[in-house]
A and B are shown apart, each in its own frame.
Chain A
Amino acid sequence: MFNTQHAKNKDGSVHVILTGALDAAAAERFETELETLLAEGVLFLVIDMENLHYLASAGLRVLLSGAKKGKKQGMEIVLCSLQPLVFSVFDSAGFTRIFPVFKSREEAHKSRHKGLPA
């Protein structure tokens, strides 16, 4: 079961918490949500994966596509709190070179004005 929760901050950034499994069935829904955020003109998006226990290739594809569209529209996407298994998939797909990944949501939000993690 896949679920998302959004929280808009005063500075215009959005915090999205992903819960469950981002598999082929959930990917289309997540893609639509990303597109909605793009259409709303969000400029800083934190994707919180603390409660995400499975990330399939379909989910990675949506993230890759989202990174491309976000780049075009000036939206920065950062990720935080990845579970070890999810991080392993994420890293093996080479996505750590595309997305800044932070250990906590606080670090992720702070990064907005500080740049990429070391």
Chain B
Amino acid sequence: MSHSAASAPEANKEAAALASVWAGLLDVLICLAAVMASHSVILLADLLKTFLEWIAVLLAWVALWRIKHGGSHKYDYGIGKLENIASMVVGVLMIFCLLLIGINALRNILHPAHVAGIGIWIGLADQVLFAGINTRLGLRSRRMAQTTGSPIMGAQARLLLTRALANIFILAALGLSMVLKQYHWAAYIDPLASLVIAGSILMAATGLLSSSFYDLLDRTLEEESQIVILRELADHFHEYEDLHGIRSRRAGSKVFIEIFLEFAPEKTMGEIQKAAATLRRNLEARISNSSVTIALADRSIDKKFRPPG
């Protein structure tokens, strides 16, 4: 695989993450202005949440920047881990954000007050604008996550789409708080809506932490992919002499497969190379993000490394 072919998806991912960084920064500044000019708890919670999410997005961009400008082919296994570590940090930050929103919401349930001020109108405009931006960026990240299998882009997609839903929800909560402000109970809409947002963050954080932690552990390949490997070997059963072992491992979003085959001595090197290339090409096409190596062997690899006795 050439370097340019390998780095193109990484560059796309970095560009998508950078767009999220700029959009997030703009959102933080508008939220800050809205909070300063209003007494809304939900907008304060929104600012804290937006700021923490922006840090998470920034962290993801830094991770992707390091991947693109880092050590090219030297850290093929490490790239997957770096992405997963970043996703875990995003998850931890989301829990921190959840606590902050929870504390603020509780305080305002105990001391209710109606929302007011020009900041509310700024907040309403901000929610409309960023519901659109976050949806667009979230869908873009999700498409990239599907095509590249990147956990970090998956985390980005979840974060941005959750954010878009939160924008719509905050918009509705602020609107109702203003329309119904003649009622005493309307003062509770603001803090209660904050708790609903906290719940959505909790769900996103739980999913993010569990999937990232699972991906972070190097693990054997799933059964479905193992069957695909065996199917390919069965399809080319008559092209090799013996099967001496299969080693496969998933590291982050990447899959590494080594197949140890013995070929008949009468076969020419050209024939062996052709058979090995066909196997490799077919498997890499069928198992996404896989790197396949066909190694020549004349005995079982498992027994070769087994200690004597």
Contact = CB atoms under 8 A, between A and B. Distances in A.
Interface stretch (A10-18, A40-48, A57-65, A101-109): A57-65
Nearest to A60: B230
A41 B240 CA distance: 23
A97 interface: yes
B231 A93 contact: yes
A47 B231 CA distance: 20
A98 B234 contact: yes
A68 interface: yes
A92 interface: yes
B223 A68 contact: no
Given A94-B234, A95-B234, A68 B243 contact: yes
A14 B271 CA distance: 37
B30 interface: no
A93 B223 contact: no
A101 to B, nearest CB: 13
B227 interface: yes
A67 B233 CA distance: 12
B223 A64 contact: no
B227 A57 contact: yes
Contacts of B230: 57, 60-61, 64, 93-95
A46 B19 CA distance: 63
Given A57-B223, A89-B227, A92-B227, A64 B241 contact: no
A113 interface: no
Interface residues of B, number: 16
B235 interface: yes
Chain A interface residue bracket vs B: 10 to 19
Contacts of A56: 223
Contacts, number: 46
B301 to A, nearest CB: 11
Contacts of B246: 61
B226 interface: yes
B233 A64 contact: yes
Contacts of A68: 240-243
Q: Which of B234, B237, B241, B243 has the most CB of A within 10 A?
A: B234
A23 to B, nearest CB: 10
Interface in B114-144: none
Contacts of B241: 68, 72
Nearest to B300: A65
A6 interface: no
Contacts of B226: 57-58
Interface in B220-257: 223, 226-227, 229-231, 233-235, 237, 240-244, 246
Given A57-B226, A97-B237, A98-B237, A64 B231 contact: no
Contacts of A64: 230, 233-234, 237, 243
Contacts of A94: 230-231, 234-235
Contacts of A95: 230, 234
Interface in A68-118: 68-69, 72, 89, 92-95, 97-98
B237 A72 contact: no
A69 B242 contact: yes
B22 to A, nearest CB: 46
A92 B224 CA distance: 10
B242 A65 contact: yes
Contacts of A57: 223, 226-227, 229-230
11 contacts: A56-B223, A57-B227, A61-B246, A65-B243, A68-B241, A72-B242, A94-B230, A95-B230, A95-B234, A97-B234, A97-B237
Interface of B: 223, 226-227, 229-231, 233-235, 237, 240-244, 246
**6 closest pairs, A vs B, by CB?**
A57-B226, A94-B234, A94-B231, A68-B242, A93-B230, A65-B243
